[in-house]
């Protein structure tokens, strides 16, 4: 009996320590298709930005001001497009960052809705979904640029569905 209690205690301590640095999360909705789908299970590194800043192409989870049906503020999963100080322009279906047209090979329709020009404030990030036709993101005032303090972490691994399990690479 002592061995079982010891094993359970050690397992609990290990899980507790791991949960301080990593957090499981789940995809809801279609805004990140074709790269992430409804009910994908992902691992979020809560410490990814403790000593570094998000980079363009990182997939992040952040607290938004959008309110769910339950009355909670929604967590959103999006891709970082613009860094602090960047000028992001969306025109004629294309995205430009600091005057350079961005590749859209990873997006669902290879077309971005919107006609905006914004300079990303210091300490904030411009984030968009990969399914640009069906994503509420930094293009909309309801989300806007995302403060670094609201970023919960970087998506680093997909563990379900099993046939797509693996490390998540930034674009």
Positions marked catalytic = 31, 78
Per-residue pLDDT, 46 = 92
Task: Note down pLDDT in tens along the chain; length 171 residues.
Answer: 777 767 667 667 666 666 667 789 999 999 999 999 999 999 999 999 999 999 999 999 999 988 888 888 889 999 999 999 999 999 999 999 999 999 989 999 999 999 999 999 999 999 999 999 999 999 999 999 999 999 999 999 999 999 999 999 888
Angle at 106 between CA 104 and CA 108, to 5 degrees: 90
Residue linked to tokens 């967590």: 75
Residue 27 token pair: 């995809």
Q: What is the C-alpha separation between 167 and 43, in angstroms, rounded?
A: 9
Closest CA to 47 of 18, 11, 90: 18
Q: Is 19 exposed, middle or buried (0-12, 13-18, 19+ CB in 10 A)?
A: exposed
Cis omega before residue 34 (within 30°)?
A: yes
* Alpha-helical regions (H) of 30-92: none
């Amino acid at each position: 009996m002592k061995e079982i209690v010891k094993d359970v205690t050690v397992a609990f301590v290990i899980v507790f320590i791991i949960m301080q640095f990593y957090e499981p999360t789940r995809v809801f909705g279609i805004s990140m298709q074709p790269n992430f789908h409804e009910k994908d299970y992902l691992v979020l590194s809560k410490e990814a930005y403790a000593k570094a800043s998000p980079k363009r192409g990182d997939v992040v989870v952040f607290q938004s001001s959008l309110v769910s049906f339950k009355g909670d503020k929604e967590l959103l999963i999006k891709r970082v497009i613009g860094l602090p100080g960047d000028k992001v322009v969306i025109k004629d279906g294309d995205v430009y960052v600091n005057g350079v047209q961005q590749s859209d090979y990873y997006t669902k329709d290879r077309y971005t809705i919107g006609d905006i020009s914004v300079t990303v404030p210091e300490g904030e990030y411009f984030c968009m979904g990969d399914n640009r036709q069906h994503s509420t993101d930094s293009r909309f005032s309801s989300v806007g640029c995302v403060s670094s303090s609201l970023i919960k972490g970087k998506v680093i691994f997909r563990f379900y569905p099993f046939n797509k399990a693996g490390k998540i690479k930034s674009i």
